[in-house]
Structures are given as structure tokens and as C-alpha cells.
């Protein structure tokens, strides 16, 4: 029997037929379609998780500026604040607050041109790692459970990629950060013992919440609003997972939500698909930043030219 799937309905049927989790189907799928052994898949997953952890550490404990100088240091600033007595006045739980740091840290690492795992993209890179690490710490889970969570996210990502799109240039931020949040929501739901149905409900609830979200990076850089936006997406994933675990289902099934994602993405004007021609990118601040970036580039080019004779 084949483990191939492109739809959530097929994935769910496979989990039922074999009485296994979504992550287990993801492993079988990889073995079947990529000719990899189980050991290779698990080893690779552990190394991906390790790279995700390193990207978090890269920016969490040290104030780092992006290559452009536009952003940086927010993960460090927020992390330092969480060490103060004021932390107890925050609305979020301890683990949610730290997940916010981890998500920003990962995307700041990306903005510094250091190593990250594009999961599914660089702009959304912080969402899945912060969610998986938070679930691990919240529930004191093993690395094996984390690996299962990661593999679960890959199955959800595959369905979105097959039936819609995953880049801001194609479908707006809904398809980039939205996909990451849906993947994370499903992954952490499996990690905490949720059923495949609950995982897919979590993914659907999460993705429904961000349909229509545009891609409007200031200056055309994956920095503003991208870095901070990932923190909101982690909360989106947590909320969806909590709802699904608590018995709330999505009226619209995941496959139909993904179809809606594709249709909304296709209908989105070009100005709101990573061209920096609309939304936040064309606010007075967005335009000023763009002009400053162009000026800085001209100065750097001139200096380089002078240095090389």
C-alpha cells in the first residue's frame, strides 16, 4: 500500500488504516518517495532541530543588528525584560513569552545572514522552531517526541505546497507565515498527544485565522513586519492547538481552508505580494526607510569602488 498523499483527507485515511500518527505517515512517505531509511530520516530530523536551536541561541543572548541595520536586538531586549520582576505582570504564560523571544531570535538570526532553517521559508523561520521548543519545555518532552512534531509539520506543509502556495510573492504572508503557523499548530498538537483529527483541526483553525494577510515588507527586506509578526503567529499556533485539544473543531476542513488560501492568494493584487509596493511598505515610514536603504547602498557601492581602485 502506498503512503503517498496530497490532501488532508488522504493523510487522515492513512493514519486510520495503519492506526498511526501523522508523523509516522510522514516517515513512511519519505521512505517511499525519497528512498531514505527510517534511520536516515530520524537522524536528519534531529540535525534540523539542532540547527533550529542554534539559530535561537544566536540572537537571544546577544544584541544583534541586521545586516541592513534596520532591525535587531528585539529578542535580546525582550529576553532581558523577562528576567525582571515586571515579568509577572505580563498577560502571557511563561512558556509563551519565551516562545516569543525564540521566534524573534530565529528571524533576527536570519536578518543577520546567519544560519537558519527555512521552515517553510526564511521569513517565517521562527514560528515552527519556537513552537516545537516551547511544547518540549512546557511538557518536558523527549527529543523523539520533538522529532515527531517536526515530521508532523512536514506533512501539513506538503499538503499546503501541493494545493496552494507557500511564498509571500505568490500568495501573501497568509501563505508564508500562515503556513508555518498551521504546520506548528499541528506539530505541537501531536507532541502533546492529540489525535490526527485534532492536529488537522488545529492546522485549519490556525490557517483560517490569517487568510488575507498581505506581504508588504518595508524596503523589500524580510525584516519589518516579518520578524515581530512571527511572534503573533506562534501565539496563533498555540491558540489553535489549545482549542483543538480542548475539543473545538474547525467547521471548514483543512483541505477546504487550503483551497481558500490558494484562491485568496491568487486574488491578491501584485502590490501586496512581496513587491513592497503596498501596505506597510508604502506608508510614509516605509518609503523613508526605503530611501535611506537606497542611500546607504549607494554610499557602500561608492566606497567599495574607491577601495578596489
Q: Rule CB under 6 A: which residues touch ligand SF4?
A: 123-124, 168, 173, 176-177, 215, 217, 222, 225-226, 274
Question: Which residue's C-beta sits nearest to ligand SF4?
Answer: 168
Q: How far is the CB of 276 from ligand SF4 (least distance, A)?
A: 9
Q: Given the complex with ligand SF4, which of 192 and 290 has the nearer CB atom?
A: 290
Q: Given the complex with ligand SF4, which of 121 and 189 has the nearer CB atom?
A: 121
Q: How far is the CB of 271 from ligand SF4 (least distance, A)?
A: 12
Q: Given the complex with ligand SF4, which of 220 and 253 has the nearer CB atom?
A: 220
Estimate to the nearest angstrom the gap between the alpha carbon of 67 and the chain centroid: 21
Q: How far is the CB of 219 from ligand SF4 (least distance, A)?
A: 11
- Closest CA relative to residue 26, chosen from 200, 148, 199: 148
**CA-CA distance, 168 to 215, in Å (whole number)?**
6
What residues contact 205, with CB distance under 8 A and at least 6 apart? 185, 239, 240, 243, 244, 248, 250
Q: How far is the CB of 259 from ligand SF4 (least distance, A)?
A: 20
What residues contact 220, with CB distance under 8 A and at least 6 apart? 274, 275, 276, 281, 290
Q: Given the complex with ligand SF4, which of 99 and 226 has the nearer CB atom?
A: 226
**CA-CA distance, 213 to 230, in Å (whole number)?**
13
Q: Given the complex with ligand SF4, which of 267 and 303 has the nearer CB atom?
A: 267
Q: What is the chain's length? A: 309
Q: How far is the CB of 185 from ligand SF4 (least distance, A)?
A: 17
Q: Given the complex with ligand SF4, which of 123 and 149 has the nearer CB atom?
A: 123
Q: How far is the CB of 226 from ligand SF4 (least distance, A)?
A: 3
Amino acid at each position: 500500500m502506498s503512503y503517498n498523499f496530497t490532501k488532508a483527507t488522504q493523510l487522515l485515511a492513512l493514519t486510520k488504516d495503519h492506526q498511526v500518527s501523522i508523523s509516522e505517515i510522514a516517515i513512511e512517505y519519505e521512505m517511499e518517495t525519497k528512498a531514505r531509511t527510517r534511520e536516515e530520516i530520524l537522524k536528519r530530523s534531529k540535525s534540523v532541530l539542532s540547527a533550529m536551536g542554534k539559530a535561537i541561541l544566536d540572537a537571544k543572548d546577544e544584541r544583534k543588528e541586521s545586516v541592513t541595520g534596520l532591525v535587531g536586538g528585539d529578542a535580546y531586549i525582550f529576553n532581558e525584560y523577562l528576567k525582571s520582576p515586571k515579568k509577572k505582570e505580563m498577560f502571557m504564560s511563561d512558556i509563551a513569552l519565551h516562545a516569543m523571544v525564540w521566534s524573534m531570535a530565529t528571524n533576527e538570526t536570519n536578518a543577520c545572514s546567519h544560519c537558519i532553517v527555512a521552515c517553510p521559508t526564511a521569513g517565517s523561520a521562527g514560528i515552527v522552531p519556537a513552537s516545537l521548543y516551547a511544547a518540549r519545555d512546557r511538557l518536558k518532552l523527549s527529543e523523539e517526541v520533538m522529532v515527531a512534531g517536526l515530521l508532523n509539520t512536514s506533512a501539513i506543509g506538503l499538503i499546503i505546497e501541493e494545493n496552494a502556495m507557500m511564498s509571500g510573492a505568490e500568495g501573501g504572508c497568509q501563505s508564508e507565515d500562515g503556513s508555518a503557523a498551521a504546520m506548528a499548530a499541528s506539530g505541537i498538537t501531536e507532541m502533546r498527544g492529540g489525535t490526527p483529527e485534532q492536529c488537522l483541526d488545529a492546522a485549519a483553525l490556525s490557517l483560517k485565522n490569517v487568510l488575507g494577510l498581505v506581504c508588504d515588507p518595508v524596503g523589500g527586506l524580510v525584516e519589518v513586519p516579518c520578524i515581530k509578526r512571527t511572534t503573533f503567529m506562534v501565539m496563533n499556533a498555540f491558540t489553535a492547538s489549545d482549542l483543538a485539544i480542548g475539543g473545538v473543531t474547525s467547521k471548514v476542513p483543512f483541505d477546504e481552508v487550503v483551497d481558500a488560501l490558494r484562491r485568496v492568494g491568487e486574488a491578491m493584487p501584485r502590490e501586496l505580494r512581496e513587491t513592497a509596493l503596498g501596505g506597510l511598505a508604502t506608508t510614509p515610514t516605509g518609503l523613508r526607510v526605503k530611501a535611506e536603504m537606497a542611500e546607504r547602498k549607494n554610499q557602500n557601492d561608492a566606497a567599495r569602488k574607491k577601495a578596489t581602485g
